[in-house]
Structure 1
Amino acid sequence: MIKIVTDSTAALPEEYVKRYDITVVPLKVAFGDEVYRDGVDITPEIFFKKVKESSIFPKTSQPSVEEFYQAYENIFEKYPDTEAIISIHISAKLSGTVGSANAARELLPQKDKIFVIDSKLTELALGVVVLELAKAVEKGAKVDDLIALAEKMHLHSSIKFTVDTLEYLYRGGRIGAAQAWMGSILQIKPILELKDGAIEPVERVRTKQKVKSRIIELTKEYAGSDPVKIAIAYSDNYEEVLEVAQEVKNSLNITDFYMGPFSCTILSHIGPGSWGIIVFKEV
C-alpha cells in the first residue's frame, strides 16, 4: 500500500481527498495574531471578507515539523501495511514546506519508507499531479514510477497567471517596492509564470482584457493540438474566469478539466482579482 501526503496549496476539493484518502497538511494564514489553518479554519470566502474588513495584510507560514511527523505517524498507525508514503508539496522556492516534511521524515523509524518530493509547482498544478499520482497508485504503480511521473508532469507543464494589483506580491517579498509602485502608477497588469518552481515575469500589458486575451493565446500556443489536462484557478472573480474557461474548452484538445479557487495561502501573496491557467501535456 502506498499513501499520498500533500499540503493545502494543492487546493484539492474534499471529494478528491476522500476518494483517494489523501492526507493534506495545511499551511497557515495569519491576520495579525489570528492564525488560521488553510482549508480548515479559513476558506477563500472568509479570506476575502477578512481582507475587506481588516487593514492588516495576511501573512503565511509553512506547516511545522511536528505537524508532518504527526501526519506520517498517523498513516503508519492506521495502515500498518503501508509500503511507502509519497509526500509531494509546494515548490521549495516558494515555501519551506518541503524542508519541514524532510525534517519530520528524519525523525521517524520508517524514514526509508517516506519519499518527500518538491513538485516545483503549487495550487491546482500541484493538485492535478497529486490526483494523477493517486490514480496511478490505484493501478499498481511503484514508488519509482510515481516519482518519475511527478517529474514528467512538471517538465510538461505551463502555468500562466495574472494579478490585479502588485501590492500583495510586494508585501510577500516577491517583487521590489519600485516595481510595485511603478505598476500601480501605470496600471500595469503583469502576466507571470511559474517556471522551475519560481515566479517569473512573462509580459506586461495595460488592460484586463489584454491580459485575458494574451494568457489564452499563450495557452493555445503551448498546447497546440496535443491532448492536454487543463486547470483554471480563480480568486474572487469566478464569473469572469468562467468566460475564460469556456473559450479554452472550445479551443483545445482537453482530456481532463479542473476549475477551482486558489488556496488562502496563495491568495495571501497574489490578492483579489487573480487568476491563472495550468496546462499539462499528456505524458
Structure 2
Amino acid sequence: MCTLTVAWQVFDSHPVVVAANRDERLDRPSTAPAEFRDGEHRVVAPRDEEAGGTWLGYNDAGVVVAVTNRWVGDLGGERSRGLLVRDALREPSADAALAVVESELDARDYEGFNLLLADAADALLVEYDGAPSATRLDPGVHVVMNVGYDTTYVVPDVRPDLARQQAENGKRLLRALLPEDGERAAGWRERAADALGDHDYGVCIHPPEAAADGEGPAAGFGTKSSSLVAIDADGRGDYRFAPGPPCVTDYEPVDSQI
C-alpha cells in the first residue's frame, strides 16, 4: 500500500504540495533523497537501490512525479515503475512528461500503478491496469491510494476486504485534508504530515505477522518512509524526508539548490 496526497493550485505561494507515505518491503534497499543531474535537469529524489528508480521526486523545472502501486493482479511488467518516474523527471513540464510516459507504455508492459505528474500549470494522474488512462485533476486536494483516488475506487478480486478498508481510509483522509479558511501551504503540509502518521487514518502501516487469510499486509512489509515536497511559485522545491514510519520518525530537510 502507498498513500499520496497533493494540494494542487490551492495555495498561490506553492502551487504543488505533496505528502506521501511509501509502503514497501522493509528489507528493500534505498537511499535518502539527494540532488543529482539526470538528462538536462537537476532532480531531487530518493533512490530504490534494487531497481535504480525512485518513487517521488521533483526537478529544476518545478515538475513533481510520484507513483503508487495499483492493485490489479500480476501484469507481467517488463520494467520497474520507479524507472518510469525517472523518465518523467527528465522532462520540462507535466504535459511533456505525460507524452513520454504514454510513449513508454505503448512500447512495454508494467505492473499496475497510479502516476502523478504535476507542475504549476497541470496536474495529471495516469492510472495503469494494462492500459493507461490519464485524468487532468481539478485544482484542490486529492488523495491517491492503491485502489483509486479521491472518491473513485475499484475493489479488485485480490484482497477485496482490505481494498474496501483502504478506500474508506482514503475518503476520510481526503475530508480531513480539505483546505481550511486562511490556511497557508506550510500549515497544510504540517497537517498532511500529521495525518500520514496518525493510525486513525490507517495509512501508516507496521508489519504484522502474515495474515492467514491473505487479507492483511504481509509480514516484513510496512511504511518504509514518508516525503513532503512543496514547489513554490518560482518553481523552486523543498523536500522533507522521514526515513521511517512518520508516526515515530521526524522529517528532515533535504539539502538542495533547486
| TM-score normalised per structure 1 | 0.28
| TM-score normalised per structure 2 | 0.30
| Greater share of strand | 2
